[in-house]
Amino acid sequence: MLLSWLLMSATALFICGITANQAFAALQDEGEETEMTEEEYEAYMAEYEAWEAAEKEADILKSGSMLLDFIRKHPQSTLVTYAEGSYQRLLARCVEEKKYQELETLAEQWNAYKPGDENIVRMIAAAARELKHTEKYLWALEEMYKKTPQLDFAKEIANIHKESSNDAGYIEWSETILKEETDPFEIFRIHYDFYNYYSGKNDSSKIMEYAQSTLKAMEQLQNPPAELAKNLPEIRHALNHNIGVMHFNAKRYDQATTYFMNALSNKKYSNGYYQIGNILWERKMVLNARLAFAKAQLLGESAEASAEDKSIAPRAKERMEQLHRALQNNTLVGIDRQYTRAREMSDEDLLKPME
């Protein structure tokens, strides 16, 4: 779609001028009204023949070079405007015949001769896109964005940087997009991409920033695509868990508890209870911590436990027994009752002080 738009928007604005034959007929009419000296007529005819030869040259690239040579050699000629029209017709022919290599070459030559023509830049962009000349395509898109800062241009630039694994370029242009973007899905997607990018870089402050902003963007989603809708609960769960871990590591236990509980509300998992147990232990709420570890162990030992849950179970069991022994004169007497209690206890009650 972008390619079609680039080509249509450029060719629609071409001023193709008249052909050499039409110019010759106009000269005959003009000669009837005005008098030319023989010297002027010969000079004009020499220019006309040079233009005609360039226009009639069958080879597109050779014709383009001849036309540019003519324009540069005869800048004051009345035929220059028409020669420029001939050149533009060559470009239009390249578009029509889908000769993208010729289009790219001719458009670049014209841009070197008369830089700044937005239509020519669009031609370069369209040709470079088809030829997979990524650097030229990026240059053209960025030039187009400078003149007409359309969101579609910025999105295409960001996408190219992403596909090329140019992280800095992708981040820069995605930040540009976020300043103008209004589509909730796109806003969510960019924030989530940033979260994943900085997670790969282990940049804690940025991970925290974009995990929180992704959750916020998620709240604005309405009727998301089916595939995304299916994955949203897992994404929400992972974001809350990771924010909880970062708060715990910074000893911000209130915030950590909130996010771990949010994660548990999306999905029951051993590590969530294990982390809650650690927080309660740090707060000297030993009775509560014992039950949190029991929940983590029981979930990890259940038939439907995931591989991650199973890996947590032995550590949770060790912590649970350690606390139980400390409370029961270094014995495991009565531990079964604690497991029963853990099974029956709600997550909210797990946080309430116990005696």
Token pair for 97: 């015949």
The string of pLDDT tens digits covering residues 106-153 is: 999 999 999 989 999 999 999 999 999 999 999 999 999 999 999 999
**pTM for the full predicted model:** 0.75
Q: What is the pLDDT of residue 149?
A: 93
User: Which residue segments constitute the domains of the chain, with CATH numbers given?
Assistant: 1-148 (1.25.40), 268-351 (no CATH)
The stretches in the chain having pLDDT less than 50 are 13-16, 24, 26-33
Q: How many Cα neighbours within 13 Å face the side chain of 196?
A: 9
The string of pLDDT tens digits covering residues 181-199 is: 999 999 999 999 999 999 9
